[in-house]
Structure 1
Amino acid sequence: MLDVRRLRLLYELDRHGTIASVAQALHFAPSGVSQQLSQLETEAGVRLLERVGRNVRLTAQAKVLVEHAKKVFAQLEQAESDLAAAAHQPVGTIRVGAFQTVAESIVPGALVALHQHERLRVEVVEAKPSTALPALLARDLDLLITEQFPGHPFPVPAEIIRLPVADDPLYLARPNHPASWDLADARHDAWVMEPEGSVGRRWAIARCRDAGFEPDIQFEAANLSIHVQLVHAGHASAFLPGLLWRTHPRPPGLHRLPGEKRSISIALRAGSETHPSITAVCGAIQSAAAAIPTNV
């Protein structure tokens, strides 16, 4: 009989590509991953891996097994949800990954609402959606709050579902030119943006290029509070999301970009959406987001 824990390793190898990456994601030693995959080959009775240089790749039989594994994991999630439903109340620990502006503006209100469930513990970690998705798939997180910028969708595998949370309007801040919100006029501005590779950075650069210029990125920071401070001090222009004004004063030269917004959603593993504890946390997040005015 195939061992589910070893199937998880094969599934993760298909996702990550290397044994070292699987070991890091699941907190294993690389040698331990290799040994477990060798035992899975014995259980399956077919060759699952083939050596390619210093790495390995999945055989055609292994790819078939991965597709079955996805269905098995989804069924196990559903089984856990069905069993938890018998308790008729949220219990246990739910781990939530949330990026900065959501952690500051939406999550606190959700936690207040969840105090009514005395047997439910909610743990929150600050996490960028692009880097935390593996933690959700590996069950290190139960929920991940994600963001999508216009024209830059956040890709998720088939075994992940998403629930809508809110649409967050986007703003242009030009502190040294408060009367001008025409982006084309900002071609000579100094800019602060998120680090290279982030979806916010990709959207911002694309927005500038659409306006006919390459932005002069003089400052780079993952923490948007730093962006706000640089704008307030007049050192940089920036694109900023509306949720920031729940916890920060509005800077000068702030203009809402017509029709531009990022979409915030909850990502969770398929099959877990009916788990009473997860349902309670998702509902509290959605309600807390709905209570925040969007016409700021």
Structure 2
Amino acid sequence: MSEWDLRKLRILRTLRERGTVTATAAALHMTPSAVSQQLTTLAAQLGVELLEAHGRRVRLTDAARLVLAHTEPVFEQLERADAALAAYAHGDAGEVRVGAFPTSVPALVVPAVRALRDTHPQVTVRVRETEAAEAYRLLAAGDVDLALSLAAEAPGAADPRFTHVPLLTDPLDVALPPDHPLASAPGLRLTDLAAEPWIYGGSGPWSDITRRACEAAGFSPHQGHSASGWTAILAMVEAGMGVALVPRMAADRRAGVALRELGADGPVRHVVAAVRSGGAAAPATARVLQALRRAADPAFEG
């Protein structure tokens, strides 16, 4: 029987997540030579090659991916064991590190934290604002315990590393200058704005969301200006420089911008929470998930 070393398997798992030996070493507070040595020893213990040269870097072999596929349930069970020990030792007390994309912080995380102060004051939430896609990388690396992200950025549903909890469907409204001819037009549709200059980021999830929404409506948006922060985007809309899609949970109802709903068929984004498989059993994490679900839907009972 092969000799399975969990510490070395964690190093291999982190290499899969981080991509390079140097990044793996930084994440685990090790030296690159120590990472390489540990993986060489693991390969000898298992009797298979785990790494192969790929240019100036290394990549995982098929054998390494097979090893990790079979050890993921072990890591999940260890998460459950940690959760059970936490429940035994601390009950509901504990710290939960949350990685959350920017607009979810004021809309979901802050209300959840306020509610927890009243119901479970021994649960501490430490927030790390990050982009939606980066939240999953932080979760996989163990840098956060819970990630708030968008379903469009989530790994495949079959990925065994994570458990997902849907939170809400967030409609996208269109922001127009208040004196725009269509600012008060009935039955506004995205196609009515096909010829307008659009304001959105040059890259990243919001750029993708805007492009996909407009293309689904039948046109490619002309990017008049590039910005990623809502303050800048809405200020440019207010100045008459273009139009923009704005998530309703992030909308700043400023007087100088007309925000119009696009109806039942308008574009939406899906907000989800994610934990490492098995991690939802930790009492403090379960309390934070519960508070987030209530912040997303006050009618939630759980």
Q: Please give the per-residue CA displacement for 1:228-272, whole angstroms capped at 9, x wherever unaligned.
A: 222223222000111124x54365332212233221110111101
The corresponding residue for 1:192 is 199
2-structure distance, mates of 1:64, 1:261: 37
Partner of 2:155: 155
Between stretches 112-121 and 93-102, larger displacement belongs to 112-121
C-alpha contact (below 8 Å) 1:100/1:223 kept by paired residues: no
Matched AA of 1:142: D
CA distance change for structure 1 residues 53 and 264 in 2, over 3 Å: closer, same or farther? closer
- The one-letter code of the counterpart of 1:167 is T
TM-aligned CA distance change 1:88 to 1:53, over 3 Å: closer
Segments of 5+ residues of structure 2 without an aligned counterpart are none
Partner Cα separation in structure 1 for residue 27 and residue 202 of structure 2: 22
**Does the alignment pair 1:165 with 2:141?**
no
2:4 to 2, 21, 27: 2
Change (3 A) 1:130 1:26: farther
Task: Give 1:161 deviation, angstroms.
Answer: 1.0
Deviation at 1:80, TM superposition (A): 0.9
Q: Which amino acid aligns with 2:260?
A: H
Deviation for aligned residue 1:58: 2.7
- Who is 2:184 aligned against? 179
- Once the two structures are overlaid, the 10-residue window that deviates more, 232-241 or 248-257, is 248-257
Matches within 5 A, 1:179-258: 179-180=184-185, 181-198=188-205, 200-245=206-251, 248-249=253-254, 252-258=257-263
> How much has 1:43 moved relative to structure 2?
3.0
TM superposition shift of 1:29: 3.8
| Equivalence for 2:129 | 126
Letter in 1 for 2:131: K
Residue type of the alignment partner of 2:263? P
Q: State how far apart, in whole Å, the 2-side matches of 1:4 and 1:71 are.
A: 12
3-state SS of paired residue (1:273)? helix
Change beyond 3 A, Cα 1:240–1:188: same
Show CA shifts across 1:169-202 (max 9, x none): 211122223134332232332221134132x321
Is residue 96–residue 143 contact of structure 1 (8 Å, CA) maintained in 2?
A: yes
TM normalised by structure 2 equals 0.85
For the residues of structure 2 that align with 1:168 and 1:80, how far apart are their CA atoms?
Answer: 34
Q: Give the distance between the partners of 1:118 and 1:197, measured in 2 at CA.
A: 36
Amino acid at match of 1:18: T
* 1:271 paired residue number: 278
> Which amino acid is the alignment partner of residue 70 of structure 1?
E
The amino acid that maps onto 1:214 is S
Alignment of 1:28-47 (within 5 A): 28-47=30-49
CA RMSD of aligned residues (A): 2.4
CA deviation vs aligned residue, 1:107-134 (integer Å, no higher than 9, x gap): 1111111114333221001111212211
Identity of matched residues, %: 34
Structure 1 residues not aligned, in runs of 5+ = none
Find out whether 1:285 has 2:292 as its counterpart.
yes
Query: What's the CA shift for 1:135?
Result: 1.0
Which is further off, 83-92 or 264-273? 83-92
Distance change in 2, residues 1:147/1:51 (3 Å) = closer
For normalisation by structure 1, the TM-score amounts to 0.87
Structure 1 residue 223: deviation in Å?
2.0
Output the CA distance in 2 between the equivalents of 1:163 and 1:210: 27
The one-letter code matched in structure 2 to 1:84 is A
Amino acid aligned to 1:255: R
**How many residue pairs get matched?**
287
Match of 1:77 in 2: 79
CA contact (8 A) 2:96 2:124 kept: yes
